[in-house]
Amino acid sequence: MLRNLVKSKIQRLVITDKNLKYEGSLALDAGLLRLSDILPSEVVQVVNVNNGARFETYAIDGPRKSRCCCVNGAAARLVDFGVAFVILLGMIFAFGIALTPKVLLLPLFLLLLLVCALGFGLWLGAINVYIRDVQMLIPFLVQIWQYASPVIYSAQSIPSAWRLVYALNPMAGVLSGFRWCLLPTIPPGPEIWPSVIVAILVFITGIMMFLRVQRTMVDIL
């Protein structure tokens, strides 16, 4: 029988920086790593006390006596989301917007967001094995995707004739769901289902593509 036990624990560690362009890890002050008996490249689990999000990564040495705690790679998105979500909740209460029972459906849209992010991440990771320059396109693609999603505007502002096509963007359904759960807006219509279907298809095909590339990944890299 194999049992996983907690060897070291650092409580109330404050994230001091994040780096989205790094491949992924948690950079900690080298002195803090030694005091905590955590070795470089050792797997660690990070828990966000603001929203309960957990993710697993590995520790690397940061500059000694810098007191740094830098989340690198895709995990930085979780930290950024947690901070932004806390600020959003503060603004909701400041403006006197009452939360309703529909906020209980928020985890479903968060799950859809994670499925979408993992799906596209698996696809881009697999493509990056063969085309290394694809990582240079990611910031540009994210900017385009932001304007193609209802971030600074409502999905209801899209003409009715184009809403079904617009709903093929999986983030359209995610953001519309977030707005409906937290704000007094109209619920997402049937247009949300194309977003759900596309997100699931991207996730499933992403897993299949990544598993296919995984067989030859080491030889190519």
58 is catalytic: yes
Q: What is the mean pLDDT of the chain?
A: 77
Q: Which of 25, 36, 149, 195 is catalytic?
A: 25
Question: What pLDDT, in 10s, does the model give residues 131-158?
Answer: 777 777 777 888 888 888 887 777 778 8
Which pLDDT value is given to residue 49?
Answer: 60
Least confident window among 79-83, 98-102, 202-206 = 79-83
Do residues 81 and 72 lie in contact, with contact meaning Cβ atoms separated by under 8 Å? no
Q: Is the pTM of this model over 0.85?
A: no
First to last CA, the chain: 35
Which H or E run contains 56?
A: strand 54-62
149 is catalytic: no
Spell out the domains of the chain, with CATH numbers in brackets.
Answer: 9-97 (2.40.40.20), 98-220 (no CATH)
Q: Which of 8, 22, 36, 58 is catalytic?
A: 58
Amino acid letter for position 82: G
